[in-house]
Structure 1
Amino acid sequence: MTTTPAIDIGIPGDQRQAIAAGLARLLADTYVLYGKTHGFHWNVTGPMFNTLHLMFMEQYTELWNALDVIAERIRALGVVAPHGGSTLANLASIAEAEQQPAALDMVRELVSGHEAVARTARSIYALANAASDEPTADLLTQRLQVHEKTAWMLRSLLEG
């Protein structure tokens, strides 16, 4: 019988576990934000319909693609990636949408969601950096850029 070799990527097991736990929270936040953004895409109404419908589609597509990248990094660290709606909802710092808000309230919720994901990503960075886990640090930097820029763009719709 063949056994799987132990993971030896230069990051001790306890650090891999801690980083993966942080990435699981990032995955969960991204998943909940994805669902909220996609739902808002389907249900937005009003004078800004076309603008928001298309913007939300770009955003949920980016979030959907990010889910795989985050989950695969968790797996590369030797940990099972969490999955399933209730599991991810329990890990997330973002609440799922419970109602059908007006268009600008959708925008406000998404600003808050992107800022929450940025805070989660930032909270993991020190762990990755301390472990010399450059791939995770790079992933987190990329996610921070996306979420901070998206929050800024959405926030701009609320000004003036």
Structure 2
Amino acid sequence: MSKINIGIKEQDREAIAEGLNQLLADTYSLYLKTHSFHWNVTGPMFNTLHLMFEQQYTELALAVDVIAERVRALGARALGSYSAYAKLTEITEDNGVSSARTMIEELLEGQEIVIRKARSLYPLVNGADDEATNDLLTQRIQTHEKTAWMLRSMLEE
């Protein structure tokens, strides 16, 4: 591959890509968990949750592509294996949760993990004047905060 000259220092590109790979691991792990909950939700709110979880995992599937492509644009390899994601993610796996309420609580926790991970990258990204990654992070945070709000609202009595 030819030398990358996009106005971001190589060490900054590498550090940003590393952070984005961590975000990718969390996002993909949340996608898997949300998809599993979509398949396995039961109870009186089945239809509502089944459809909502489908919308959420579909959005997450698109997000992993955007994040991975940004890693590649920065000149790094985008992680793409379960084992690599498992080493990096803070998202807990679906371990047979059957309660719809617990599913909502766990997905809310996952959304907030992703929000914090994305937000933690701002100092590095801003210091490197990486506006493209800054924009990606802003969009991801907005989406995850809205989803977290919706999930949180479902938990209120």
TM-score (norm 2): 0.98
Match of 1:156 among 140, 144, 153: 153
Match of 2:83 among 67, 86, 93: 86
Match of 1:134 among 128, 131, 134: 131
Matched, 1:61 2:58: yes
Matched, 1:44 2:41: yes
Aligned partner of 1:14 in structure 2 is 11
Alignment of 1:93-112 (within 5 A): 93-112=90-109
Aligned-partner residue type, residue 109 of structure 1: E
8 Å contact 1:122–1:140 — kept in the other structure?
yes
Q: What 5-or-longer segments of structure 2 have no aligned partner?
A: none
Across the aligned residues of Structure 1 and Structure 2, the Cα RMSD in angstroms comes to 0.7
Alpha-carbon offset, residue 22 of structure 1:
0.4
8 Å contact 2:40–2:98 — kept in the other structure?
no
Matched, 1:26 2:23: yes
8 Å contact 1:118–1:148 — kept in the other structure?
yes
Alpha-carbon offset, residue 67 of structure 1:
0.4
Could you say what secondary structure the match of 1:98 adopts? coil
Aligned-partner residue type, residue 34 of structure 1: Y
Match of 2:140 among 124, 138, 143: 143
Q: Deviation string for 1:69-117 (max 9, x for gaps)? A: 0000000000000111111111111111112230010000000000000
What is the alpha-carbon distance in structure 2 between the residues aligned to residue 5 and residue 80 of structure 1?
15
Deviation >4 Å, runs of 4+: none
What is the alpha-carbon distance in structure 2 between the residues aligned to residue 125 and residue 49 of structure 1?
38
Aligned-partner residue type, residue 123 of structure 1: S
Aligned-partner residue type, residue 12 of structure 2: Q
Alpha-carbon offset, residue 23 of structure 1:
0.2
8 Å contact 1:89–1:95 — kept in the other structure?
no
Match of 1:35 among 18, 32, 37: 32
Percentage of identical aligned residues? 62
Alpha-carbon offset, residue 148 of structure 1:
0.7
Q: What 5-or-longer segments of structure 1 have no aligned partner?
A: none
Matched, 1:74 2:71: yes
